[in-house]
Amino acid sequence: MKTLLIIDAQNDFMPGGALPVPEGDKIVPIINGMQHTFDLVIATQDWHPEDHISFASNHKGASVFDEIEIQGKSQTLWPNHCVQGTQGAEFHPDLKTEKFEAIFRKGTDREIDSYSAFYDNSHLKSTGLAGYLKEKGVSELYVCGLAADICVYFSINDALKEGFNCYFIEDASMALDTEKFSEIKKEMIAMGIQIITSESVS
């Protein structure tokens, strides 16, 4: 079953949002244009409580993008983003969602951040996505979305560990830090991830 996983195509990650990915909105028409070629389309949403531990505003004296240690793990502090029930947490208004069979929400536990579509950052809690895909008989996963160097990357990494063959759709994804992502792409290739474009999907 040909499956597309769309990561966090939400307002707060778009230009003008709380944590904008440069040119993030450019992926929306590309994602819309290729959805029809997939048998199964699923999506994720960052879905944080207001008091989430990753928000700089919840740490006295801290600034956005500071690195601190929480429960023995390094944590980047982010601006408040994708807060549950807010406009910023909604999908981009131009994103076609009719074909979405399921939406998996992540980052719902205030005590731990969750970049991956599959697990929180300490792998303590599963979103249930791996089991869902395996029950559907999915073996290959095409992944795109925001941000390529964070949530997309961590999702693909976990997908590989769960035994899925992974394709990264590069033109349907944008990175928060493009310089960092150039190194991540080399790592992806070394891991056996196939980097493709939307044109090759159909």
CA 184 to each of CA 26, 97, 175: distance values in angstroms, whole numbers, following the listed order: 21, 29, 10
Which of 25, 113, 120, 151 does the annotation list as catalytic? 151
Match 């939307």 to its residue by tokens: 198
The catalytic residue among 25, 46, 82, 106 is 106
Contacts (Cβ under 8 Å, ≥6 apart) of 148: 168, 170, 173, 174, 175, 176, 181, 184
Place of tokens 């999907």: 201
Quick check: 137 and 98 in contact, CB under 8 A? no
Q: Does the active-site annotation cover 166? A: no
Report how far Cα 186 is from the mean position of its chain's Cα atoms.
19
Contact predicate 14/176, CB 8 Å: no
Hey, is 200 helix, strand or coil?
Answer: helix
Residue count of the chain, please give it.
202
125 noted as active-site residue: no
The answer to whether the beta carbons of residues 31 and 144 sit under 8 Å apart is: yes
Residue spans of alpha helices (H) in the chain? 27-34, 129-135, 153-161, 178-191, 198-201
- Annotated active-site residue 151? The verdict is yes
Residues noted as catalytic: 8, 106, 151
